[in-house]
Every structure is written in structure tokens, then in C-alpha cells.
Amino acid sequence: MRPGMKDSTLRFYKERMLRVLVHIQQHLDEPLRLDELATLACLSPHHFHHVFTGMLGESLASHIRRLRLERAACRLKLSRTPVAQIALEAGYETHEAFSRAFRGSFGVSPTQFRRRNGKARQIQVRSGVHYHADARLKGFRAARTGDKKTMTVTIKQLKPMKVAFMRHVGPYNEVGKTWERFMMFLGKEGLLGGDAQFIGICHDDPAVTPPDKIRYDACVTVDDRFQAQGEIGVQVVAGGEYAVMTHFGPYEKLGESYAKLLGQWLPRSGRNLRSTPYFEVYLNSPENTEPADLVTDLYAPLEPARGGHHACDRKD
């Protein structure tokens, strides 16, 4: 890789994300669909949310919520539109809910804010992105973690892995039940041998997909002889290069590590993501391990190394 390549990749990622941020500001009154935003960022919807959270330092949902509140603040100050109307435009159905959210962000109620002609505390965000009526956004500060210890990323070349899997559709925090049934089946069949690997593939993003629609595959590596039966399917986890980061601690905090890997490491790595799903490998069992001692490897699929440019960047 030639010198400076990594900086230029970061620039590409920032340009893509800037397109998304401008689009969000121009379309605050619309539902803002995930796949549309992901397309603007040249990312698959699988990966988009984590990249966004990691780069901006806030989730997509809270970013949109905040900008709608900031726009409401502008309108309170500069217009005479009734508060109830502004609340509705900000996506709040009741005045109370709007007041609560507004006070939480600005420290005063919407009425007080208007009376004081907009004198209130400012919302502080690391990215520096705030609402502008003309959506003129020149750039933003990409979040960066100073914590080197938790940011050790290695690149691994994997062979394709044949896995038996059981599909879970429903809240992410209930995948344990599917694992229990799946392990029981595999165990009685003698398939939990010493070298079996335990893998989780999440096809949807728990942060943006309704809980009852999240698809997750509990997977265990099997040998060539294994055949699909009943609720147990067979799939192949794609080989190729992966960026791997170890997550230490409870499963509830996996999202934070994904955001670091995809939103902070990736843009500075000079690499692009492949559109196959990312996955996680569980290295110890929650059954006999305290949540703080759980160890999980996160795998993000990479395109073969080449320029920082992405085919989709050339469109505009």
C-alpha cells in the first residue's frame, strides 16, 4: 500500500458519510430508510449502522432525533409557529413527550426557550454536526478512540467453514434459547467435539430492525458428512480476509465493539467491506463464565486489498 493511502481511505469514508449527513438534514420530515442511507454511503445495510455509530459517536436513531430537536429549537426561536405544531414536525405526538425530550437536550422547556429568545445550553457533540436550515455541512470530526488496548485488530485469512445452524427470529437478547435447543440437538448427536467452533451470524441490525424481525443464525462448525435435518440447516461461512477484533465482556456491549471496529478502525485501515454478513465467534460459554469474563471475536469481511476507492464512489 502506498504512503498516504490510509488517509485517502478515511477521506473517502468521510465523503460518503457526509453525503448521508446532508441527506438526513434535507429529509428530516421523511422516514429516512436504512437501505437508502446505506446506499448513499456505499455500504451494505448489514454494516452501515455500525460504521455510522463508530464514526459519528452516536447511533443513527439518536442522530436523527437530535437533529429534529435542533430544528425544532430553530423554529421556536425564529418563527411564531405554535409549539404543538413544532412538536408534531419534530416527530412527537404529544406536547408532553416533546417538552420532556426538549428539556432533556436544552435544559429548558420549549416555551421558556422561546421566551428567552433561544438562550439555552448548547447540545455538545464530538462530531460537530448540528442542524443547519440550508443543510450546508462541510465536514465533521470522525470519532476516534484513544483506547489502544481494546482496538487490537488483526487481519485473518479464513477458509470457508461448513456450519450446522438453527435460525432465530426475534429479539437478539433471546438467542440464548435457540442456542440451548441447538446445543441439545448437537450434543446428543455427538457433534460437540473438542474443536467445534461456536459462531453467531446476525443478518439484521438490532439497533434498527424491530426486535421481532431480527434474524440470527446460531452456528457450529461440522465436518463434510453432516447433512441438514429438521430445523437444523447447513450453510457455508464465506472464506477470505476478515478484520478481527476481540470483545471482552458481556454480550450486551458487543454493539460498542462493532462500532469501534467498523466505524473507527475500518475508515483508517485502507480497506473496504465485503457485503457478506459479519459474524462473531464465542470463545467461552456463558454457562460457566461471568459476563465480564466472556470473550468474543468479531469478524468483519474485507474486500481484497486494493485502492481506497470504491466502485460506488465514482458515480458522483
Partner 1 sequence: MPATEKIDLCKLHKDEYVSPKKPVLVRVKPAQYLSINGEGAPGDERFAACIGALYAVAFTIKMTRKFAGKQDYAVCKLEGQWFFEGDLARIPKDKWRWKLLIRTPDFVSQADRQQAVATLLGKGKTREVEEVKLERIDEGQCVQMLHVGPYDREHETIAQMQTFAEGKGLKLAGPHHDIYLSDPRRVPPQRLKTILREPVSAS
**Do 100 and 92 touch, CB atoms closer than 8 A?**
no
Q: Is 230 in the site for partner 1 (CB under 8 A)?
A: no
Name the segment binding partner 1 (CB under 8 A); options: 23-31, 83-91, 92-100, 288-296.
288-296
Tell me, residue by residue from 177 to 216, as one string, x for binding to partner 1 by CB under 8 A and - for no binding.
------xxxxxxxxxxxxx---------------------
Q: Which of residues 19-48 bind partner 1 (CB under 8 A)?
A: none
Q: Is 154 in the site for partner 1 (CB under 8 A)?
A: no
**Do 220 and 164 touch, CB atoms closer than 8 A?**
yes
If you write DSSP's letter for every residue of 204-251 in order, what string do you get? S-TTTS-GGG-EEEEEEE--TT---BTTBEEEEE--EEEEEEEEES-G
Q: Is 88 in the site for partner 1 (CB under 8 A)?
A: no
User: Coil, strand or helix: which one is 63?
Assistant: helix
* Pick 111 or 154: Cβ nearer partner 1: 154
Q: Which of 249, 202, 206, 185 is nearest to 34 (CA)?
A: 206
* Pick 37 or 183: Cβ nearer partner 1: 183
* Pick 81 or 284: Cβ nearer partner 1: 284
User: Coil, strand or helix: which one is 17?
Assistant: helix
Q: Which of 93, 98, 90, 44 is nearest to 71 (CA)?
A: 90
Distance CA 281, CA 275 (A): 19
| Among residues 287, 304, 311, 316, the one that binds partner 1 under rule CB under 8 A | 287
The nearest distance, CB 170 to partner 1, in angstroms, is 20
User: Coil, strand or helix: which one is 35?
Assistant: helix
* Pick 84 or 192: Cβ nearer partner 1: 192
Number of residues binding to partner 1, judged by CB under 8 A: 25
* Pick 7 or 223: Cβ nearer partner 1: 223
Q: Is 248 in the site for partner 1 (CB under 8 A)?
A: yes
Distance CA 141, CA 127 (A): 4
The footprint of partner 1 (CB under 8 A) covers: 183-195, 223, 225, 246, 248, 283-285, 287-289, 293, 295
